[in-house]
Amino acid sequence: MNKAIRTISVVIVVMFVSLMANATYGYVARTPALSNDPTNRRVTDAEFGTDRGTILVGNTPIALTKPVNDRYGFQRSYPQGALYAPVTGYYSYLYKRTGLEQTQNAQLSGTSSSQFMQRLVDLATGKRPTGATIVTTLDARAQQAARDALGNRPGAVVALDYKTGAVKALVTSPTYDPNLLATHDLGASKASYDKLNADASKPLSNRATREIFPPGSTFKLVVSAAALASGMTPDTMVDSPASLPLPGTTRPLSNSGDCGGTQITLKQALQTSCNTAYAGIGMKLGADAVRTQAEKFGFGRSDLLPQLGSAKSTFPATLDQAQLAQSSIGQFDVAASPLQMAMVGAGIANNGVVMQPYLVQQVRAADLTVLETAQPQKFSEAMTAANAASLQDMMVNVVANGTGTRAQINGVRVGGKTGTALTDGKNAPYAWFVAWADNPSVAIAVFVQDAGVEASDVSGGRIAAPIAKSVIEAMR
């Protein structure tokens, strides 16, 4: 063989090797990204012709695929649609995917890297691909109790196992039926989406994780943690005047009730939710200390629950003293999601350690082989164990003797903090309650955006605390 022929042979071999390497890389490495690209219409058509995996709560399907006699062959269905819509999201030909349908799409459609070998087997045997099953962390009893207790009032409830970070309940109201968008009648799907999207009550919004609101006095938990970190104790005396002049303003800050004197302990300040005491504490600590404490609980981060997505809770970057005073009682520009406030309660209950929230417990192949299992992970260390224990006792006192008495449960140690957040003056105040229990080990944030009563009757203790109680009792 002469030199020219050898050279051409080598070039051809190199080209074939390069082609095979590129094809292999494209199939192995790029398939998940291309398959999950919501603009890939060819993949969308192919997916609608596959047996998409099931989403479970315990052993109960909350999203499944049924064979149908149309061009796609399979129809996505949500047996308890509205109850779990904030979690499952929807799977729609026209409007793609949201919720777990989006974040777990690779597993549900059978295109994840952990299902690579199964795809090869299916290809070799000619078997139709089947998606994996997603097992959520949700507790059906907690989810139903939260939904029933919240009712039709706009708001949200989030419950976390504070020892692991597992999401036990995630409810938002108003909600919607994802079956309306999953239908293969594309005209009906479009009409439903347009109606939902035009609804002023925003049923497609996830108030639990993807929206933020003034947390009101529940933010005093963050300020309490910062105060304890500074060396204060529950017995430290703090000023609690009936009215507190704010620097640079002519409008003083007042309390919603009697704090119990002009000087009270930090413990009593939380018990009575004393505004002037916490405004003074915040100004004494300084904005940086309060902000740092908030960030330890997760403020400013968008990775609170990657499996659903979460909005960043905020504490203002720059504040004058008057603004700091307002911020220290959860007003001014402080804003938090119910998920974030549940994490605050969870970190306190878990001896200062905040666990990473997660919603997927297991991924199982069609043959029930376990492909993935979640392992609890630490999100942050927000407090020392000693300070967390002190704040736990302070929260228990709030439920036993303070503004949170409607959350009391016989035989269960419950800690809580109420919140009533003022809005723009046109809308009713928001009602909040952040709580935890020792049996079961759950932390809960309840947010009621509109209680449907006169503004003067809105309070976290009256409106939100009973909802938390209902969830805890359902889990026992």
Among residues 319, 309, 365, 18, the alpha carbon closest in space to that of 170 is found at: 309
Q: Which residues of 26-64 are buried (b: 16+ CB within 10 A; e: fewer)?
A: eeeeebbeebbeeeeeebbeebbebbbbbbbbeeebbbb
Other Cβ atoms less than 10 A from the Cβ of 257: the count is 11
SS3 track for 16-45: HHHHHHHHHHHHHCCHHHHHCCCCCHHHHH
Burial of 261 (0-12, 13-18, 19+ CB in 10 A): middle
Distance of alpha carbon 27 from alpha carbon 87, whole angstroms: 30
Q: Are strands 237-239 and 414-421 parallel, antiparallel or unpaired?
A: unpaired
Q: What residues does 314 pair with on adjacent strands?
A: 335
Quickly tell me which residue has 């993935």 as its tokens: 372
Q: Are strands 133-136 and 55-57 parallel, antiparallel or unpaired?
A: parallel
| Residue type (1 letter), 174 | P
Distance of alpha carbon 295 from alpha carbon 340, whole angstroms: 11
Q: Is 310 a catalytic residue?
A: no
Other Cβ atoms less than 10 A from the Cβ of 273: the count is 28
For helices 287-297 and 275-285, give the axis angle rounded to 10 degrees.
Answer: 100
Quick check: 148 and 82 in contact, CB under 8 A?
no
Q: What residues does 288 pair with on adjacent strands?
A: none
| Phi/psi of residue 136, nearest 5 degrees | -85, 170
Distance of alpha carbon 259 from alpha carbon 56, whole angstroms: 48
Which residues, 6 or more positions from 35, have their beta carbon under 8 angstroms from its beta carbon? 43, 47, 105, 106, 109, 111
Apex CA 462: angle with CA 461 and CA 466, to 5°? 80
Looking at 92, 112, 189, 217, which residue is catalytic? Answer: 217
Tell me the CA distances in angstroms from 29 to 33, 37, 235, 290, 348, one per residue in order: 8, 14, 59, 44, 42
- Any idea which residues carry the catalytic annotation? 217
